[in-house]
Amino acid sequence: MDRVRRLEVVQRESVLVNFVYCHPVGHAVEALQYCLGYRSANPQRRIAVVLNSATAVDLASWCDAIDEVYTVDIDVFEPPTADILAHIPREWDWVVDDPRGHQKWQHDFFPGLQRYYELAAEHFRTTGGHTQVGAPKPSYQPRNPLRLDLEAPARSWAAERLPQHAAPTIAVLPGGSAQRWRYPSLASWQRILGAVTDRWPAARVCFTGKLADDGRTSTGFTRAEFDALAGSVPNAVWALDVPLDRQLAAMQRCDLLLSPHSGFAFAALAVGTPWLTLAGNDWAEYYFNPGVPFYSVLPDLDRFPCYVVLGNTPDPVDDGPRSPTMSAERIDADLPELIEGAAWLLSTDADFDDAMRDHAARLHKLFGGRTELMYSVDDLLTSYLR
The CA angle 376-329-260, to the nearest 5 degrees, is 30
Closest CA to 297 of 320, 311, 317, 281: 281
Judged against a pLDDT cut of 50, whether residue 7 lies above it is answered with no
* Backbone dihedral angles phi then psi of residue 78, each to the nearest 5 degrees: -130, 140
Question: pLDDT (tens digit, 9 = 90+) per residue, 79-130?
Answer: 999 999 999 999 999 999 999 999 999 999 999 999 999 999 999 999 999 9
Distances, alpha carbon 359 to alpha carbons 18, 77, 149, 167, 170, in Å: 30, 34, 28, 27, 21
Q: What is the pLDDT of residue 6?
A: 45
Question: pLDDT (tens digit, 9 = 90+) per residue, 214-261?
Answer: 656 667 788 999 999 999 999 999 999 999 999 999 999 999 999 999
Judged against a pLDDT cut of 70, whether residue 8 lies above it is answered with no
Share of the chain above pLDDT 70, in %: 95
Rounded CA gap, 81 and 13, in Å?
A: 30
Question: pLDDT (tens digit, 9 = 90+) per residue, 356-369?
Answer: 999 999 999 999 99
Mean pLDDT score of the chain = 94
Does the pTM surpass 0.85? The reply is: yes
Query: In the chain, at which residue ranges do the beta strands (DSSP E only) sit?
Result: 14-18, 46-52, 68-72, 91-97, 125-132, 169-172, 204-209, 236-240, 256-260, 275-278, 294-297
Q: What is the pLDDT of residue 10?
A: 53
Q: What is the pLDDT of residue 4?
A: 45
Q: What is the pLDDT of residue 218?
A: 62
SS3 state at 239: strand
Q: What is the pLDDT of residue 221?
A: 86
What confidence category does residue 211 fall into, taking pLDDT thresholds of 50, 70 and 90? confident
Question: pLDDT (tens digit, 9 = 90+) per residue, 116-154?
Answer: 999 999 999 999 999 999 999 999 999 999 999 999 999
- Of 191-195, 214-218, 307-311, 375-379, the poorest mean pLDDT is in 214-218
Q: What is the pLDDT of residue 3?
A: 47
Residue 101 DSSP code: G
Q: What is the pLDDT of residue 216?
A: 62
Closest CA to 270 of 30, 6, 2, 17: 30
Q: What is the pLDDT of residue 310?
A: 65
What confidence category does residue 313 fall into, taking pLDDT thresholds of 50, 70 and 90? confident
- Provide CB contacts within 8 A for 203, sequence distance 6+: 167, 168, 169, 170, 196, 197, 233, 235
Q: What is the pLDDT of residue 9?
A: 46
Distances, alpha carbon 79 to alpha carbons 49, 73, 155, 323, 350, in Å: 21, 11, 40, 31, 46
What confidence category does residue 5 fall into, taking pLDDT thresholds of 50, 70 and 90? very low
